[in-house]
Amino acid sequence: MSELRLLDDRRTLPIGVFDSGVGGLTVLHELLVWLPHEDFVYLGDTARFPYGERSRDELERFALQIAQLLVQRGAKLLVVACNAATAAALPALESRLSRLAPELAVLGVVGPGCRLASNATASGRIGLLGTTATVLSGAYKRGLRACSEDLTLTSVACPDLAPIVQAGFPFDQRVVDTVRGYCRPLRSANVDTVILGCTHYPLVAPMLQRSLGPAVRLIAAGAAVAGEVQRVLDAQHLTNPRPDEGDYRFLCTGDVASFRDLGTRFLQMPLGEVEHVDLDAEMAA
Ligand code: DGL
């Protein structure tokens, strides 16, 4: 009986999701839509937002610290919802966790985005919009090369865009001008598919689509990430057996009130409980 009982218990544990702040709630949104029976615990590292201008060393350190906390909080699988953290830190995170928690699967957003883009393109010319850390990491280039040798990637680092989107409600002409500026090199490169390589960009998808033109396919990885999570849960026999909707709750490292304010817009669902966490104190304990 005890083995069966243990398996049952792990199935009812939450999925851990983390990001540099509220942006990853666009990914959590898709997870909640496509995996309605699962519980989720989401950590937004709002005190250290933005991640997009940080170094690989910092991102590896942050990702490992957060992953350890989510493991302590009982996560049965981890989703790195942040593009910058996935691009810069996923390999290091996988290798550390394979020693610390070998049974724990860790999924990022780059692989699913590359596979979607590779399937969507007809011309083989793909564009990437992302933060500086994401573009410099070369992770999307490597991910697309793993899909096919025949793809060319035009990458545009957009250092201003995530902070502007985050601060920019209601959107004004400055947001439109910023979006247009970053789309210009992609229009010149005549791409037919554009990867939204940052969690904030789905919020400006209408502006991006208008600037790039209706023939260009925009790729956001959230729904594909949900599909990959489902496949891993099935393979590991970890799908939550509950018949009703799961719970979701939030941890953030910065101000709880502003997480709640901004978060509802990114999640497009009610937010519920938000707990402040001090990562350094938790790790020292
Ligand atoms: N979550 C980050 C990403 O997807 C948003 C931007 C940032 O933190 O700089 O890259």
Q: What does pTM read for this prediction?
A: 0.95
| pLDDT band at residue 6 using 50, 70 and 90 as cut-offs | low
Helix (H), strand (E) counts: the chain: 13, 10
Reported as a pLDDT band with limits 50, 70 and 90, residue 272 is confident
Ranges 14-18, 66-70, 192-196, 278-282: which has the least confidence: 278-282
Predicted confidence at residue 30, as pLDDT, reads 97
Distance 10 CA to ligand 1 centre (A): 30
Active site residue 252: no
C-beta of 63 in contact with ligand 1 (< 6 A):
no
Both structure tokens of 213:
């033109």
Residue 2 has a pLDDT of 46
Is 198 a residue of the active site? yes
Instruction: Give the least confident one: 5-19, 110-124, 208-222.
Output: 5-19
Query: What pLDDT sits at residue 58?
Result: 97
pLDDT at 221 over 70: yes
Which residue of 26, 27, 131 sits with most ligand 1 atoms within 8 Å of its CB, as the best mutation to test the pocket? 131
18 pairs with which residues across the strands?
43, 80
At residue 17, does pLDDT exceed 50?
yes
Residue with the two structure tokens 């910023």? 178
* pLDDT reading at 132 higher than 50: yes
Judged against a pLDDT cut of 60, whether residue 8 lies above it is answered with no
Of the listed ranges 113-117, 160-164, 278-282, the one predicted with least confidence: 278-282
State the burial class of residue 176 (Cβ atoms within 10 Å of its Cβ: 0-12, 13-18, 19+).
middle
Q: How far apart are CA 63 and CA 237, in angstroms?
A: 26
CA 41 to chain centroid, in Å, comes to 14
What backbone torsions phi and psi does residue 87 show, to the nearest 5 degrees? -65, -40
Mean pLDDT, the chain, as a whole number? Answer: 94
- Per-residue pLDDT at 63 exceeds 90: yes
Q: Would you state the structure tokens that stand for residue 82, as one six-digit string?
A: 């942040």
- Cβ 22 under 6 angstroms from ligand 1: no
Q: How far is the CA of 199 from the centre of ligand 1 (A)?
A: 6
Average pLDDT, integer, range 25-43: 98
Question: Amino acid identity, residue 238?
Answer: L
CB 166 near ligand 1, within 6 Å: no
Residue 5 has pLDDT above 60, yes or no: no
| Ligand 1 pocket member 134 (CB < 6 A) | yes
Listed residue (217, 168, 199) closest to 208, CA to CA: 217
